[in-house]
Amino acid sequence: MKLNFNEVQGLPVPVKLFEIINLSLADIPAPNEDTCAVTINFRDPDYSADTGGYHPVEIRMEKQNEFWQLVYITDFSYQGGPFPELVKEIDVCFISKQVFNLFIGWLQNRNAKELVSLFIGNFIEYYTNDCYQVSVSFD
């Protein structure tokens, strides 16, 4: 399966991210024609609240006519104690063009773009270094 993306995503996105998405879907059979959304989860099986590791990342795309649009990319981390839970640490919403960081709150303009660039750049490096197991779901 290969997705054709709308080039305008609301926030800057490197081409490499689209390549990773399509690589992750390459061996997945195409779903039925009624499918309007794809969610890809990237998980480090060794990540835990005690030992750390690579944060889980989730990317969701929705079909807009013949193209696919990024909806969000979210980084999760364990927070709290004594029973830590996975929470959104970085949440990039492409539809509303908003970026949230757990420790800073909502970011605007240059700060938002810089965080998105750093976050996606790091994600690409981690993926390239084979740090994740990938799962895909369809809606």
Q: What is the pLDDT of residues 21-77, one digit of tens each?
A: 999 999 998 788 888 999 999 999 999 999 999 999 999 999 988 899 999 999 999
Reading the block at residue 84, the tokens are 């830590």
Q: Where are the domains of the chain?
A: 15-29+36-138
Three-state DSSP class for 16? helix
Please say if the pLDDT value at position 10 is more than 80. Answer: no
Tens of pLDDT, residues 61-107: 999 888 999 999 999 999 998 999 999 999 999 999 999 999 999 99
Cβ atoms of 58 and 40 closer than 8 Å: yes
Domain 15-29+36-138 has CATH 3.40.1390.40: no
pLDDT at 8 (0 to 100)? 73
The residue with greater pLDDT, 31 or 121, is 121
pLDDT at 82 (0 to 100)? 93
pLDDT tier, 16 (very low <50, low <70, confident <90, very high otherwise): very high
Map tokens 């390239």 to a residue: 128
pLDDT tier, 2 (very low <50, low <70, confident <90, very high otherwise): confident
Question: In whole angstroms, what is the distance from residue 112 CA to residue 109 CA?
Answer: 5
Question: In whole angstroms, what is the distance from residue 19 CA to residue 24 CA?
Answer: 9
**In the chain, what percentage of residues exceed pLDDT 90?**
79
Other beta carbons less than 10 A from residue 14's beta carbon: 12
Chain-wide mean pLDDT for the chain? 94
